[in-house]
A and B are shown apart, each in its own frame.
Chain A
Amino acid sequence: MKLAVCIYEGPYNHEASDSAYNFIKAAIAKGHEIRGIFFYHDGVYNVTRLMEPPQDDRHIANRWSELGATGIDIVVCIAAAKRRGIVDEVLVPNVRISGLGQLTMMAIEADRMVIFGD
């Protein structure tokens, strides 16, 4: 089954990002296709390479980047990103900035869309 995931909250401040990540890992393990991951609202802060968490904590941006390296389409909403100072130059590799049309296509093409937020 094709699944899409949308994340509305920033990293560390809220569990949404962790829940989404754990859900996606489990979905992949079960053989589902991840149609895409879309970051919206403060969720755009999840993939900035400027974050530097303590060594003994998870590195949320790197975690997403590693998922992106497996070929999953990870999209940061351009309108939400620009509003919050997130631009191409600060993104981790394997994620891209694009428009809400991408969210629309995920909602239409994925069999299920799961939203994680506050």
Chain B
Amino acid sequence: MSEESKKKIMFTVRKPPHGSIYVYEGLEVKLIMAAYDADISVVFMDDGVYALKAGQDTKELGIKGFEATYGVLVDYEIQKVFVDRQSMEARGLTEEDLLVIGEDEDTEEPIRPKMVDASEIASMMAEQHNILSF
């Protein structure tokens, strides 16, 4: 199937990690869907940006974390990963605070989620076939 005829599916992540299971089980959906013929993008906004904060350690909680999985999203061919700029700024976060989601095949440069403005996200939303929120 050509890139144009692939259905665009967006995931939005607005909940913080660990306090509830939504982010974790939402990630499971992304990994499965990546194996199908769909044009996937993921947008983190509001408390969802905390799901991407580097250095999460859930050992003492006894909860399985997911930082390692988010760290290889690019390997699952999920490359369109965005964070909402205003959500980041409101929480005192910068791009450097975010975990790496893979590395560039050619340059081996680390790839981080791309920070974008709300208007850009709104335009992307309007182009989607369906949007799943977690």
Tell me if chains A and B make direct contact, with any CB pair below 8 A.
yes
Contact yes or no, B32 A107, CB < 8 A: no
Within 8 A of B (CB), among A84-118: 99-101, 103-105, 107-108, 110, 112-113, 115, 117
Partner of A100, one of B7, B22, B28, B131: B28
Residues of B within 8 A of A110 (CB): 130
Within 8 A of B (CB), among A1-40: 4, 6, 8, 40
Residues of B within 8 A of A8 (CB): 22
Residues of B within 8 A of A113 (CB): 130-132
Contact yes or no, A104 B22, CB < 8 A: no
* A-B interface, 7 closest residue pairs, ranked by CB to CB distance from nearest: A100-B32, A113-B130, A104-B33, A107-B130, A108-B7, A104-B36, A107-B9
Using a Cβ–Cβ cut-off of 8 Å, how many residues does chain B contribute to the interface with A? 17
Q: Give 20 new A-B contacts, CB below 8 A, not counting A6-B132, A107-B7, A108-B9.
A: A4-B130, A8-B22, A40-B25, A41-B21, A79-B25, A80-B25, A100-B28, A101-B36, A103-B32, A107-B33, A107-B38, A107-B129, A107-B130, A107-B132, A108-B7, A108-B37, A108-B129, A108-B130, A113-B132, A115-B132
CB distance from A80 to the nearest CB of B (A): 6
**Interface status of B29 (Cβ within 8 A of chain A):** yes
Q: How many A-B residue pairs have CB under 8 A?
A: 49
Within 8 A of A (CB), among B1-57: 7, 9, 21-22, 25, 28-29, 32-33, 36-38
Contact yes or no, A101 B32, CB < 8 A: yes
Q: Which residue of B lies closest to A99 (CB)?
A: B32
Interface string of B67-95 (1 = CB under 8 A from A): 00000000000000000000000000000
List the interface of chain B (C-beta within 8 A of A).
7, 9, 21-22, 25, 28-29, 32-33, 36-38, 129-133
Q: Which residue of A lies closest to B9 (CB)?
A: A107
Query: Which of A80, A104, A112: most chain B CB closer than 10 A?
Result: A104
